[in-house]
Amino acid sequence: MTASEIISLSALELGQAIKEGRTTSPEAVDAYLEKIAAEDGRFHSYITVLADEARARAAEVQAKIEAGELTGPLAGVPVALKDNLCTKGLLTTCASKILYNFRPPYTATAVQKLLDAGAVILGKANMDEFAMGSTTETSYFGPTGNPVDPEHVPGGSSGGSAAAVGAYLAPYALGTDTGGSIRQPASYCGVVGMKPTYGAVSRYGLIAYGSSLDQIGPLAHTVSDCAAVLETIAGHDERDSTSAGDPAIDMHYTDALVRDVKGMKIGIPSSYFGEGLDHEVKEAVLAAAEVLRAEGAEIEEFDLPMVDYAIPAYYVIAMAECSSNLSRFDGVKYGYRTERFEDLQDIYKRSRSEGFGTEVKRRLMIGAFVLSSGYYDAYYNKALKVRACIKKAFDEAFAKYDVILAPAAPTTAPKKGESLSDPLKMYLSDIYTVSVNLAGLPGITVPVGQDAKGLPIGMQILGNTFCDKTIIRAAYTYEQAAKERKGGRA
């Protein structure tokens, strides 16, 4: 196979081609590394490209495939990893100056599961610093560009992962989703991105932002790829007490790749389609809903209360948790340390002041404030109560509907600099995604069209807790129906 033929394949198609001997893992890795070298200067989707390591690993994996030791669907297929996932001995920076030289002594569970299945790591993808942002512009190493138009942002915080997939610089990638950080960039970049139910995937080895909100998930070109990746990385992990340990939970996600939504009840929350939603986004999502109706689903509008409170509740909780989680970065144990200091207290102060970027420092200060004596009840405790109300509202909705359809973002990808200069505008870009994290629900974004500028539009499909297979089935049905209507690849 030629390099262009290899890169045109989905992750599962590439895995099948390697298994059948039509290409090899080293050939696939070389094809992607050459494309990264030639084109990633336009996008900056990677922070670290692991060319030598990837080639050595591909040769090792190929030998195991030929010996029959690796038989999984993703064996030999390259992957990009968001740079907040620990990889033993390999730079893991969180796109921050304070971790510019950090090489973890262990590997994240989700990454190890991919490696056990025969994955080959191409590199570590760019991101918003410590996953704090919605545009991948807060990275210490510079911003990432949208694969459709590099003058626009790719979304965030998993913007490097989404851009790498969207620009065909990786067949699939892992990202993390704290408040929409997989689903929103997937929408902006025209790829599929899935946030699993909280607890479905171990967070061990994920450098935490908000521990009660973070979840690792896949980005890829197809729903099938996302399902296969999720099936590989999901499951209980004794090193993460929040990972799901109930054996009754069905995590055979590829079983849900069935084109069938007949009788499925789909709710469309009217509050998600009001003021603030771009007209072209609204029309594209509603048109996608009609595709599912034509496939036999029952579509109904309903009222989902508490949505207006999701953004303030989310940012109070997320910033409180980040102020706690990031207290470990002090310039003493590892990472960046200031060169000038007077005493230990001064090391802490200067290292953190010099090592963290503006957006991270803003969130740390707000988080410390809402947790401080006298303000804890007024802000943090109140936000937790709102979170419980949001979860209750979703519980009531899912008592009636199998899935919920919504936009993934209020607009298509803005130009670079538009959101970064206005933090409130950046926070509001998460208005349709954060409530899912507050409630611990699964959500998947699928491409549903483009605006007049050619920028991608994505639709979210949301499900009840541990009903990930239901949203995969709905997403797969839409993808196949849309592909059929186009007369080609979705």
So which residues are the catalytic ones? 82, 157, 181
Nearest to 92, CA basis, from 172, 206, 201: 206
Q: Residue 90 and residue 106: Cα distance in Å, rounded?
A: 10
The rounded distance, in Å, linking the Cα atoms of 185 and 175 is 10
For the packed helices 25-43 and 11-19, what is the interaxial angle rounded to 10 degrees? 150
CA 199, CA 482: separation in Å to the nearest integer? 31
Dist. CA 162–CA 127, nearest whole Å: 10
Strand ranges for 90-215 from DSSP E: 120-125, 172-176, 192-195
CA–CA separation, 326 vs 364, rounded Å?
A: 8
The neighbour count for residue 416, using CB atoms within 10 Å, is: 19
> Rounded distance, CA 230 to CA 201, Å?
8
Backbone angles phi, psi at 197, to 5 degrees: -55, 140
Per the DSSP assignment, residues forming a β-bridge with 82 are 125
How far, in Å, CA of 351 to CA of 338, rounded?
5
Tokens standing for residue 103: 């090489």
> β-strands 172-176, 192-195: how paired?
unpaired
Evaluate whether 145 touches 151 at the Cβ level (below 8 Å): yes
